[in-house]
Structure 1
Amino acid sequence: MARRGLTADSVFEYRDDLGLTCEKQEHIQWVCNILNSLHISERVLSQQQLLLINQKIRSVPTGRQRSLSTALNQVLLYLNEICDWQLPKTTESVFRDESMIWLLGILKKSECANRCFRRYEQQRQTFMNQRWRNMGWTLLVLNFEVAPLPLPYWKKILVDPSSIEFFEGQFTLKVPHYKPIATFSNDNIASFTRYALPSFPLKVLQDFYQLNSVNNLTIKSLLNAINDWVNLDPYYFSPMDPAEWLRTFQSFWHHHYVIPPALLRDLSDPMRHVATLSNSKQSPIGVKKEKALYQAPLQQAWNLKAHTPKTTRTTYWPHKALIKYYLKGSKVQPIKPATPEWDLENVLPKLFFHFTDELFTEGGVKQENLQPRSIERYTNFYHNLSSLSFYDASEPEKLHQWAHNEFERLNEQTTPWHLYNFLRSASHQELTDHLDLSLFERPELPSLVDSFRLDVSQVNRTVTKLLSSPNGNAMQRLFASVAVLLGYYGAMRRGEILRLRLSDIRVSAQNKQLFDIVITHTPEGRTKNGKTRVVSALMPASAAKLIRILLKIKSGSCGNKPLLGFEHESIHVRASQYLYPATQALKMLFGSKVRFHHLRHSGAELLYLQGLHLVYQRQEGHLEDILQDDATVEMLTHESCIQRFDFWLERRPFSQLNTGLLFDIISGQLGHANYATTRRNYIHGMEKIVPLLKPACRQYSRAELRYLFDLPAGSNDISRILNTLSSEYSSLSNKAKKQFQPILGESQVLKKLKRNQFLIKNNILPIKKTRSIDDDFASQWISSMPVNYFDKQITTFHYFCQALFTSLNKGDLDFNTVNAQWHHLARGKFFSFTAKERTALNTLGKPEVIIHQPQASSVETLNLQFQCQCNQKVLDAFIALCHVGSFKHYKANFVLQQNRKSLKSSKLNMVKTQFVRRGDSVNKQITQTGNTQLIITLETQMPSKKLKPILDGFFTHLTTKLG
């Protein structure tokens, strides 16, 4: 796949759309050629590379040098803004100068913008009765009431009625990007962003679509239309070019809505943000997926110590059987091949199976249906790849290193596109969803944004799913749920959550729902930007209580131990035990494309909305009908917003701070060096932002309401509409009714407009409101676990039960003891015996639980002692239970007590050759009387504290039930 490289067309088109001055294309292309010759493989330009380019520019002997220097700055700005390149700090001053020039151009249009808007408002009142339809008028309405956009974007919107879309409680305007910058972009779904579409511009645009059937609009025709319109009464403006008009509209928004420059650029440049897709079409929760929740990706994952060396065994590739199944057809081969399990030595076979299955069921990027032979061709590079172990796949750095190595090693002409598609599939699998695809995209192309987001209720649903699952144990459910809460409310990366230590999180003394989280370097890894930051995380009461429960459980443990997990677990084991189930739950509820990292994206958006609520002093209900989620609205109360930013406010009124720093403060909380990264990758669309800039309610004239509801000018039928819109209207006198102009919210008007024939024709559903529930996570967690360690009906030993946590809460147990007991119980599979093992246990007899005092330790431990005969039946039972069963990890001490009259028997040889395993010990005792018996003592190394009577009762219950 040959690379085209950076071209002047992309840079010129971007700057021209925004009305920015641009050097000649030949100068831009000269700079692009120099950059292409450097063969830069990542989105980073080093200081040395910049010096090299400047040296080549200075080598030009003529005044063309100045033009090339300007062209370089313009190309670098494009690479930074659109392609997300990291540039040397020496370029920051150039970008500041460019921003100042841009803002100065806006300020120069202040008087023109003010005059134009005053006359627009005057004409707007006249319009309500005369109701003309004109392209120039439509452009004025859209720029003043929706957003100040460049003419090329309005050109695309005005020829496409599908640009209007009802989305999340309001009408929106879908604005297409001129180049794809969304991960969801393909031939069926184009990359776009969204803007809120209020009722008045909505109606004007609908009327324009109904009257006009224009497919040949040009920028010139749009410009002529708006210039011709303002050349008449009441404007009498001289013609302006596209850049001047854009600056005029930007100036209006800047001053009228008090929008800071950074947000104004977001508002007026659709390429700076990507809308999220509707998540209404969610994958149903399959029974099989439900059962798989909390099942470790590998049965031996909890016991992984290090990378397992490769063997010479032949790798089995199950995706080949899947292709064969589709080639032959279901009639020839009725049973579809089952999804394979994860392989410890190589996870690629299962990843390829998923990749192949997706190609069959979902199609390719460009074609909806693919032939089996095509899919076989797209996947036939599998044998060229190096194996990827489970351990390396679990570690982000090792996974990325493996992918980079494969890209560099494989032939560029044959596999890079197929390999990239395979990696795209892998990034949506639970095990490898931390794969960052931006590292493998062509750096000269716009960087792609993954814009999925979740609201508070969806996060609550995920936590509820994790807590209420019958699978896993109580601590696993707690750890996984806390990981979700930290990912969302702390907007933390998965690695930051896994490395978080007990000493890194503390509850605020003033507010138990507020947590200060230190994200810093640990022996397990470093922060992404190499710096330490402190995150302030405000959570709802129920979520905060769950965090405090975990901190209470682990109180007394060493501060440098991980918050999530047990002491003996490595970071990749913790990832598979706690983050893997969280990812599984997200995919079950919201579709296969959701990743754990989307929690961070969603938390960043919540933080951004909280900040804007403070700046514009909005009430919590301002976005209520747009958010459609009471739980999210509750996080946007003035009190919640103040508490969330308390680390910055320090109990000072918000008005006393430099609000211009807000975006930098938000970026700092996310660990971003600058706001550009935050706004591009984490702020999705403008449909929630623009409504925040405007008051929640405004006054509607009777004439405007007649227009909106398709009533003739002067119609008295408006009284019927007013009766339904305003409760006070009916109580007014007839004279007062004629003067009445209601103050309404946009949603009140929309609820009436939903009956509009346009909405019915386009199959737009009525507004639906999702009511949140009062989730009590602590109660859900407690009710998900057994009351006691065992009961009369069940033969399984449940270590993590309500009785254990009661002891922890009272202080009868500490987590260090629990950690040690759990570790040694886990090695015995929690005493969860199979039917065969229970039979073997019945043969050996009830074990006596003995307290043992090791010589090198002050902690008393427990031993299990069996007294039994030494015969073949006992040997078979011991093999089933201790050679391959639940007790196989416990060291055994054998004492053969023989009567002095039977010393010639072969019992001792039987014990030494058939009973004993590596590490076991054998002793012989001679007795004067009695039969020969074998005493087997299993050293569990479990601390005995509080556990001896519990195990005594359990084995009594178990052997009695078996008997």
Structure 2
Amino acid sequence: MAKKPLTAQSIITYREELGMDCEETSNLQWVCDLINSLNINERALSKEQLNDINKRIKSIPTGKQRVLLSALDHVLFYLKEICNWQLPEVKEQAFTDESTMWLFSIHEKNLLASQCFARYESQRESFMDKRWHDLGWVLLVLNFEVAPLHLSYWQRILSTPTCIEFFEGQFTLKVSHPKPISSYADEDKASFTRYPLPVFPLRVLLNFYKYLPEKALTTKSLLDAINRWVDTEPYYFAAMSPAEWLRTFQSFWHHHYAVPPKLLRDLSDPMRHVSPLDSTECYAIDTVKEKLLFIPPLNNAVVGAEKKAPADAWPHKNLIKYHKQSSKENSTKPTAPAWGTDNVIPKLFYHYTDELFNEGGVHKKTLLSQSIDRYTNFYKSLNPLSFDDATNPETLHRWAHKEFDRLDEKTTPWHLYNFLRSASHQELTDELDLEQFERPELPSLVDPFCLNVSQINSTVELLLSSKNGDAMQRLFASIAVILGYYGAMRRGEVLRLCLGDITIVNPQKKQLFSIVIRNTPEGTTKNKKTRIITVFMPEPAAKLIRILLKIKTGCDETKPLLGFEYESIGLRSSYYIYPVTQALKALFGPKVRFHHLRHGGAELLYLQGLHLAYQRQGCHLSSILQDEATEAMLSKESCLARFDFWLEGRLFDKMNAGLLLDVIAKQHGHSSYATTRRHYLHGMEKTIALFKPVYRQYSRAELRYIYDIPVGSNDISRILDSLSQEHSLLSSEDKKQFQPELTESQIIKKLKLNTLIVGKVTTTNKQPSTFNKCDFKTLWESSLPEDFIDKNTNTFNYFCQKVFKALNNKTLDFKTANIQWRQLAKGQYFNFVSKELKALKTLGKPKIILQKPQGKSHTETLNIQFSCVCNQKTLQAFKTICHKGSLKHYTATFLLIQNRKSLNSNKLNMVKNQFLRKDDNFNWHKTPGGNTQLIITLKTLIPSTLLAQTLEQYFLNITLK
């Protein structure tokens, strides 16, 4: 992709909207040109590069050197805050000093802010009856009661009536970003953030929209209006600049609501957070159970099958051809191919092409077949991407970078980037980090989506209750969800987590786990550093982890928690993460990824911290969350338990609350809270609600204004009767003085949304709470077969209740179970197809022979022995089941017993040349009498514990059936 140079105007706009001083355009552009000339390809500035820039500036002998150094700080601050650059430590410290100066400038407005608010409150009371219309008044209301924003943001809001939306139980302001900073943004759809809109400023804003001035609003007209308004009674303030007004309102919020500096920055800078799209498509669980594969999604070709024709090697070409001929009758849309073992690119191109037809391109909603053909015509230029490489984040990114660097044509990199964007939403490749391929001088994009506790419960229930997969696979996948959410862990961190790195904090706190996230031979953490996190989760989720820890007692603690020994990280990803991604997409829409579990967990930890800091009850956000399960995790007990690692038994008010946000960022492995805020915490609608109490007093006059009732009308009594039971019991005189304590949600329920809202009414499709119903342990155990052998179908199930009872009572250890599972080929070898069952009957009922321990092993293993005649029928049966079929992985020992004196034997030659495989053994024994007999012993290496009699009975059942 061609690079778009960094420009001074971007820095000027950003700093002005924060009310920050800014150097002249020419000086800023000089610095921008200097940075552009370095051709930096990643979001980082090295110490050496910074030194080179400083040398260039300091070579200037005049006072221009001073202003250019200041301009450099302004540019680097923008690159750090908006473009997510990593800067040398010396500059990080400089920006810390700048933040301190910013806070000092706010404190300078303390007296003015206090006076302004006191006079605003007195004017507010008289406004309820006089109800004047003035732009200056509207700006005071919005800044004191909604958020302290720069006038440039209010200019856009006041010019856009559709920015009011009802979302998640409250009215909100949808504030668009001047620069797109979300992955879903394009030319037609801007990224945005949300602020809660209380009912009083809501009515003020709605009334303002009724009388919009004919002349377009500008930042200057807003500044003139507010300065004109405060020039009269009761304020009598001198005129101020936009920056001074912003500092004044920031000072009010800082002191009145006890908003710490970092949160104050979030509050007054909409570019620090991105809200997700309005709604997410949800499906009922019953309709998606069968979609979960729970097997590696590989295209396992049948041995001996013909190779695909070249035309079928790229199914997206057939899809384009189908759409070109869609007007013809009897045309059938090509189906999606399976994931290929050697190359997953064909399937990724099929999905990409299908998306282009269904959803359009970045700039156009509908694309012609010819255009899509052109956009995808670089498919043959890409090197293959194997299934194993696709499931390993490191090899996946290496492949993508190599292809990106190699395809340096003018248009191809842009088409490749869009192809990678599509791949990042596929189950197999959703670990692809697109930020690595974006232009570093552009704002880094945020992928906003968040899950709540009930949605996590639904996902785990779906995984545990699926009819597909084995019990351990369902357990591992469910625990991956739990760790990804409550631990806010990345996909690779979950996969690499070792058994010894997760422990229960103490026996009295069984819902609290300590987790060490470290570098392992399979990969490193994102910042290459080790971190220790403490994770608190609901009892049903904690119980699943305790089950797994008990099952794996005595296992090698350096091995991964999720999975069996000898499974590669790619295989574990396909077995245990792929089904999770399938479940998330099926339940919550195609754009949801495993990484969004981390987003949800980050928000939960953030809300828990703010509940402690502002001493709020768990039900404080009930009308917004609409989820009892999340409320339970926000109770005081849950919040204290979650921060137990920091509090260590102390009261929260004894701690340095100023460290809270840094403590939260450190739990996520972030060096800066700003990273947590922007990429993981979406919108301000929950945050601001925590600053304010749930209940407040409302006068009759204010309620009349909110409900748009004429001044002095007694119709308010009817509304008050429905809002407050106490009101209906008062006398007429007492009712006039009555000021009920009400919540915003109580008032909102009485508002008529369909006539009140100017913009769009948006509601979320919340799932009903399952917090008090979910019992993951029982759900999982009920899915287990009772015994190894299903009496109805005669199928063999290794992971049954019998195995887990043995693991619990220590008659079987997981090391042995691990070997049994591996030698049984994960349960697949003994589930025979019909032609194999016929072959088994030909060979005859086998005996299960105990093999004495060999080498370091202390456990007897099982051999499968067949005694049969030596003829062509037996040969064909053996080939069916052991050359190609379910038992082909077990080596065989042949014993041919013959009654003969001659050394020449056709049967001997048959065994040697047709029965024997590469690693098989052969013995020949002559007897003086009796019939010729062929004894075939398959060496399985399966430990005998629990299985000797079971397998004997199993083979008896299937051979006699």
> Normalising to structure 2: TM-score of the pair?
0.97
> Which residue is equivalent to 2:239?
239
What does 1:621-660 correspond to in 2, within 5 Å?
A: 621-660=619-658
Return 546-555 or 783-792, whichever deviates more. Answer: 783-792
Distance 2:753 2:569 in 1: 55
SS at match of 1:183: coil
**Equivalent in the alignment of 1:845:** 844
Give the distance between the partners of 1:666 and 1:288, measured in 2 at CA.
35
Q: How far apart, in 2, do the equivalents of 1:385 and 1:768 lie?
A: 42
Do the aligned partners of 2:280 and 2:764 also contact (CA within 8 Å) in 1?
no
Q: 1:904, CA displacement in angstroms?
A: 4.8
Q: Tell me, in whole angstroms, the C-alpha distance in 1 between the residues paired with 2:654 and 2:875.
A: 81
CA contact (8 A) 1:867 1:934 kept: yes
Query: 2:686 — aligned with what?
Result: 688
**How many angstroms apart in 1 are the aligned matches of 2:763 and 2:416?**
41
The answer to whether structure 1 residue 819 and structure 2 residue 818 are counterparts is yes
> Once structures 1 and 2 are overlaid, which stretch shifts more, 424-433 or 893-902?
893-902
Counterpart pick for 2:491 among 489, 494, 499: 494
> Does the aligned pair in 2 maintain the 1:797–1:830 contact within 8 Å?
no
Instruction: Report the equivalent of 1:304.
Output: none
C-alpha separation in 2, matches of 1:14 and 1:927: 96
Say which SS state the counterpart of residue 458 (structure 2) adopts.
helix
Range that drifts further, 705-714 or 462-471? 705-714
Q: Aligned residue for 2:170?
A: 170
Picking from 619, 633, 640, the partner of 2:617 is: 619
Task: Report what 1:721 is aligned to.
Answer: 719
Return the offset for 1:765. Answer: 6.0
Matched AA of 1:368: K
Q: Do the aligned partners of 2:288 and 2:587 also contact (CA within 8 Å) in 1? A: no
CA RMSD of aligned residues (A): 1.9
Task: Give deviations 1:501-551, integer Å, cap 9, x for gaps.
Answer: 111000121310000001112222222212111111100010000110011
The equivalent residue for 2:598 is 600
The answer on whether the counterparts of 1:293 and 1:585 sit within 8 Å (CA) in structure 2 is no
| Code of the aligned partner of 1:846 | K
Residues 438-837 of structure 1: pairs in structure 2 closer than 5 A: 438-509=435-506, 510-755=508-753, 757-759=755-757, 770-773=768-771, 774-826=773-825, 829-837=828-836
Deviations 1:559-605 (A, max 9, x none): 11110000110111111110111111111111111110110111001
**Whole-Å separation in 2 of the counterparts to 1:313 and 1:893:** 43
Q: Counterpart of 1:693 in structure 2: which amino acid?
A: F
Tell me, in whole angstroms, the C-alpha distance in 2 between the residues paired with 1:266 and 1:733: 47
User: How far apart are 1:708 and its partner, in Å?
Assistant: 1.0
Bigger mean CA deviation after superposition, 271-280 or 9-18 = 271-280
Counterpart AA for 1:702: R
Moved more, 520-529 or 262-271: 520-529
1:94-173 map, 5 Å? 94-173=94-173
Amino acid at match of 2:48: Q
Residue equivalent to 1:316: 313
- Number of the residue aligned with 1:894: 894
Once structures 1 and 2 are overlaid, which stretch shifts more, 868-877 or 594-603? 868-877
Given that residues 6 and 32 in structure 1 are in contact (C-alpha distance below 8 angstroms), is that contact kept between their aligned partners in structure 2?
yes
Cα offset, 1:99, TM superposition: 1.0
Q: How does 1:188-587 map to 2 (within 5 A)?
A: 188-212=188-212, 214=214, 216-282=216-282, 290-298=290-298, 316-329=313-326, 331=328, 334-509=331-506, 510-587=508-585
* Greater relative CO (CA pairs within 8 A, separation 6+): 2
Contact kept in structure 2, 1:460 and 1:775, CA below 8 Å: yes
* CA separation of 1:862 and 1:532: change in aligned 2, threshold 3 A: same
SS at match of 2:84: coil
Pair 1:267–1:826, CA change in 2 (3 A): same
Q: Secondary structure at the match of 2:824?
A: helix
Give, in angstroms, the shift of residue 681 of structure 1. Answer: 0.8
**Aligned partner of residue 225 in structure 1, secondary structure:** helix
Contact 2:536 2:642 in 1 (8 A): yes
Q: CA deviation at 1:731?
A: 2.4
Instruction: Check whether the contact 2:503–2:515 (CA below 8 A) recurs between aligned residues.
Output: yes
Shift of 1:903: 6.3
Cα shift at 1:914: 1.3
TM-score w.r.t. the length of structure 1 is: 0.96
Deviation string for 1:253-276 (max 9, x for gaps)?
001001111100010000111011
Q: Structure 1 residues 233 and 365 mapped into 2: Cα distance closer, same or farther (>3 Å)? A: same
Whether the aligned pair in 2 keeps the contact of 1:870 and 1:933 (CA below 8 Å) is yes
Describe the SS at the equivalent of 1:821.
Answer: helix
Deviation digits for residues 823-847 of structure 1, max 9, x if unmatched?
Answer: 0101672411111111111111221
Instruction: Tell me how far apart the structure 2 counterparts of residues 282 and 367 of structure 1 sit (CA, whole Å).
Output: 26
Distance in 1 (CA, whole Å) between partners of 2:401 and 2:115 is 57
Asked whether the 8 Å contact 2:356–2:367 carries over to 1, the reply is yes
Instruction: Give aligned-pair identity as a percent.
Output: 61
Distance in 1 between residues matched to 2:893 and 2:310, nearest whole Å: 37
1:399–1:763: structure 2 CA closer, same or farther, 3 Å change rule?
closer
Q: Displacement, 1:901?
A: 6.3
Contact kept? 1:828, 1:886, Cα under 8 Å? no
Distance 2:544 2:193 in 1: 37
- In terms of mean alpha carbon deviation, does 229-238 or 455-464 score higher? 229-238
Question: SS at the partner of 1:517?
Answer: strand
Q: In the TM superposition, what is the alpha-carbon distance from 1:960 to its structure 2 partner? A: 2.5
CA shift digits 1:348-377 (9 cap, x unpaired): 111111111110111111111110000011
Which stretches of structure 1, 4 residues or longer, exceed 4 Å deviation after superposition?
Answer: 283-289, 311-315, 760-769, 901-905
Structure 1, 86-95 or 481-490: larger mean CA deviation: 86-95
Greater displacement, 401-410 / 116-125: 401-410
| CA 512–268 in structure 1, closer or farther in 2 if over 3 Å, else same | same
- Residue range with higher mean Cα deviation, 160-169 or 77-86: 160-169
Distance 2:676 2:61 in 1: 42
Q: Deviations over 1:90-128 (max 9, x none)?
A: 102220221122111111111111111111111111111
Are the counterparts in 2 of residues 828 and 887 from structure 1 also a CA contact under 8 Å? no
- Output the amino acid matched with 2:847: E
Paired letter, 1:800? F
Does the 8 A contact of 2:165 with 2:760 survive in 1?
no
Q: Quote the offset at 1:772 in angstroms.
A: 3.3
Quickly say closer, same or farther: Cα 1:424–1:280, change in 2 above 3 A.
Answer: closer
Tell me which residue corresponds to 2:29.
29
CA-CA distance at 1:238 after TM superposition:
1.5
Q: Is the 8 A contact 2:787 2:802 kept in 1?
A: yes
Query: Partner amino acid for 2:463?
Result: L
Tell whether the 8 Å contact from 1:667 to 1:678 is kept in structure 2 after alignment.
yes
Displacement of 1:290: 2.8
Structure 1 residue 734: Cα displacement: 3.2
Residues 895 and 935, structure 1, Cα contact 8 Å, conserved in 2: yes
Cα 1:713/1:559, change in 2 over 3 Å:
same
Deviations 1:126-154 (A, max 9, x none): 11111122211111111100000011111
Alignment size in residue pairs: 952
1:717 CA displacement:
1.4
- Provide the C-alpha distance between the structure 2 equivalents of 1:278 and 1:844, rounded to a whole number of angstroms: 64
Between 465-474 and 849-858, report the one with greater CA deviation. 849-858
Distance in 1, matches of 2:28 and 2:314, equals 49
1:786–1:842 distance in 2 versus 1, CA, 3 Å = same
The answer on whether the counterparts of 1:159 and 1:215 sit within 8 Å (CA) in structure 2 is no
Which residue of structure 2 lines up, in the alignment, with residue 305 of structure 1? none
The match for 2:305 is none
Q: Structure 2 stretches of 5 or more lacking a match? A: 302-307
Say whether the 8 Å CA contact 1:283–1:592 is kept in structure 2.
no
Query: Is the alpha carbon distance of 1:566 and 1:312 closer, same or farther for their aligned partners in structure 2, counting shifts above 3 Å?
Result: farther
Which residue number in structure 1 is paired with residue 304 of structure 2? none
In the alignment, does 2:60 pair up with 1:60? yes
Identify the residue that residue 877 of structure 1 maps to in structure 2. Answer: 877
Unaligned ranges ≥5, structure 1: 302-310
Provide the rounded CA distance (Å) in 2 between the counterparts of 1:628 and 1:436. 32
